[in-house]
Amino acid sequence: MNNYPHEYESSLQQPQRFWLQQARRLHWFNEPSEILSQRDDGTADWFVDGELNMAFCALDYHVDNGRGEQTALIYDSPVTQTKERYSYRELRDQVAQFAGLLKKYHVKKGDRVVIYMPMIPQAAIAMLACARLGAVHSVVFGGFAPHELAVRIEDAEPKLVITASCGVEVNKVLPYKPFVDKAIELAEVKPRHVVVWQREMCEAELQAPRDVDWQQALAEVTPAECATMKSTDPLYILYTSGTTGKPKGVVRDTGGYATALRYSMNVVYGIQPGQVMFTASDVGWVVGHSYIVYGPLLAGATTVLYEGKPVRTPDAGAFWRVCAEYGVNVLFSAPTAFRAIKKEDPEARELKHFDLSKLERIYMAGERLDPPTLEWTQEVTGKPVYDHWWQTESGWPICANPVGIAEYPIKPGSSTLPVPGYDIRILAPDSSELDANEQGAVAIKLPLPPGCLTTIWRNPERFAAGYLREFKGYYSSGDGGYKDDDGYVFIMGRTDDVINVAGHRLSTGEMEEILAMDSAVAECAVIGVSDDLKGQVPVGLVIVKDGVTVDAQELSARLVQRVRDEIGAVACLRQIHVVPRLPKTRSGKILRRLLRQLADGDTQVSIPSTIDDPSCVDELKEQLQR
């Protein structure tokens, strides 16, 4: 049965009625009666008089309704050879106990808490404990440089920082406490306390009385009850990169976010209570917030928290092993993860060792999913692979294949259709709406549905300037793309990835798709570099698959011709660099802006702390400027 057209239309025409129905999937202490309150700028607050608690909805509710013994969280750490399971009751009790610890150190409703943790269960426990008390957590990716952590501490002004003694990267132990100490030294705002989870492979030295040993202090506290939160109260601040260099603190509310996540677990991911979801990301990113911690638990599902990599921990069969061992129903990661698996194991020999009979669907997001990666993953697994598009700012999917209410044919390169609640338009620079198959700016007509950002922390002006001013009455996503004749949405990349070659606007994303189709190419990136004659010209960078021997000049010539055949001579892609690696963030996104700076000979290049391997920058700089 196809319920999507009716549900989508209802979400736009009768949003208050539609979202009240979805909100009733949650346990409210006081059910909302005022569903939508619009602001002067066109944005909205949702369920403004409703009261609830996110941690109660995610844990206590399920314990109270018969799911207490069901597994809530599975911890799998190939880097430490550790596996643990937590039932809903066990997780609820540990969260309540740690919330009691936070309360002992004077954390209360509205206070901020910075969490700087590796991928261990205590990261999720810390987040949920903050939610239980009504404190606003701000999770910072474990391993960020002290300066980056200091900037976030200054902006959030936390009463307390929660960390672990170390993280583990493949076979390397990374002490966290020195980073935290340095960040606090750099920051003008000083947290009162630092709570440290001691890991046996590297115990941290504590500075009394500021520092608190998590394990020791826990024995001396009383479990805390859930605070009653307004729907509009902030749940967390999540910092995302800004063009000005200063990170933006995206603010998420409580009730709208909970409602959107609960809805998406069924409609987007098709997850039912008791099923298992493995989201291979990090709690430091929005994907980890939404679909490792909060979303699966709200839905009464089992979530897998994985401390490892898609490859090298120990091999390219890592994801398949986790799926088989825990009966995973839905797997979600970034395309980069699957490209890494494909590069190491192009014939998918490792997959043959594992039973994936319970795996129903695979999801990818976080960057453009190139058709070759989609097709390879479908072919070797025999499972449907769904691209879907969303952002840190949205908090949950904007475009997806709505498998919970309908299933549409997969079109490579498309994230399928707008999710109910999102009124997506493709706009020209003058704000006029473009026809099908015309590329433009992807915008969302206001008001945004529940779950999206409500502001930038302590900077509403930046919120308005960054998202609301480009197109009046719309949220500007910063992405470019188009809709086809069937209404499918194709996201072609950030609008700054559209280059202007002698007056022709060309998508670097489209060129990347063409390069990736070559059988020798494992990964690629196309950037626009300055040119005296044409303004900009595209330059390609490609990584060759493991085990493939190819002449670099022959491959370059072949790829140049392929782009010429597909797009035409107007593309002007004449230069291809075969490189051993590309600069990426730890979440796997290629740092295209950094590549452009290197190619243009920018002498003020700042290597971001989010980079996975800084050592690749110098070799790329030399090759690009040759």
Burial of residue 284 (CB within 10 Å: 0-12, 13-18, 19+) is buried
Instruction: Kindly give, in sequence order, each residue whose CB lies less than 8 Å from that of residue 248, ignoring residues fewer than 6 positions away.
Output: 239, 240, 241, 242, 456, 459, 462, 466
Phi then psi dihedrals of residue 532, to 5 deg: -60, -35
Contact yes or no for 56/26 (Cβ under 8 A): no
Name the H helices within 268-395. 286-288, 295-298, 318-326, 335-344, 371-381
- The whole-angstrom separation of Cα 405 and Cα 558 is 44
Torsion-angle region of 487 (φ positive above 0: left; ψ -120 to 50: alpha; else: beta): left
- What are the Cα distances from residue 247, in Å, to 151, 239, 243, 330, 445? 8, 6, 8, 32, 25
- The whole-angstrom separation of Cα 424 and Cα 482 is 10
User: Domains in the chain and their CATH numbers?
Assistant: 23-66+88-269 (3.40.50.12780), 502-624 (3.30.300.30)
**pLDDT tens-place string over residues 530-571:** 876 666 789 999 999 988 889 999 999 999 998 888 777 767
Continuous segment of H or E residues that includes residue 490? strand 489-494
Counting as low any pLDDT under 50, the low residues of the chain are 243-244
Instruction: Kindly give, in sequence order, each residue whose CB lies less than 8 Å from that of residue 323, ignoring residues fewer than 6 positions away.
Output: 278, 331, 354, 356, 358, 359
Instruction: Kindly give, in sequence order, each residue whose CB lies less than 8 Å from that of residue 268, ignoring residues fewer than 6 positions away.
Output: 388, 396, 397, 400, 401, 402, 403, 404, 419
pLDDT of 243 reads: 47
Burial of residue 238 (CB within 10 Å: 0-12, 13-18, 19+) is buried
- The whole-angstrom separation of Cα 98 and Cα 132 is 10
Q: Can you tell me which residue has the tokens 């399971």? A: 85
Q: Can you tell me which residue has the tokens 């979530």? A: 303
The pairing of strands 276-279 and 521-531 is: unpaired
pTM of this structure:
0.86
101, 258, 261, 189: which is closest to 458 by C-alpha?
189
- The whole-angstrom separation of Cα 246 and Cα 405 is 41
CB atoms within 10 A of CB 12: 15
- The whole-angstrom separation of Cα 117 and Cα 97 is 19
- DSSP label of 584: B
* Strand stretches in 344-435, DSSP E: 361-364, 385-387, 399-400, 417-418, 424-427
**pLDDT tens-place string over residues 282-306:** 999 999 999 999 999 999 999 999 9
Share in percent of the chain as helix, strand, coil (round to 5): 30, 25, 40
Instruction: Kindly give, in sequence order, each residue whose CB lies less than 8 Å from that of residue 430, ignoring residues fewer than 6 positions away.
Output: none
- What are the Cα distances from residue 531, in Å, to 167, 392, 431, 599? 44, 33, 30, 11
517-541 burial by CB neighbour count: b if 16+ within 10 A, else e? bbebbbbbbbbbbeeeeeebbbbbb
pLDDT of 508 reads: 83
pLDDT of 505 reads: 57
Pull the structure tokens for residue 381. 């697994």
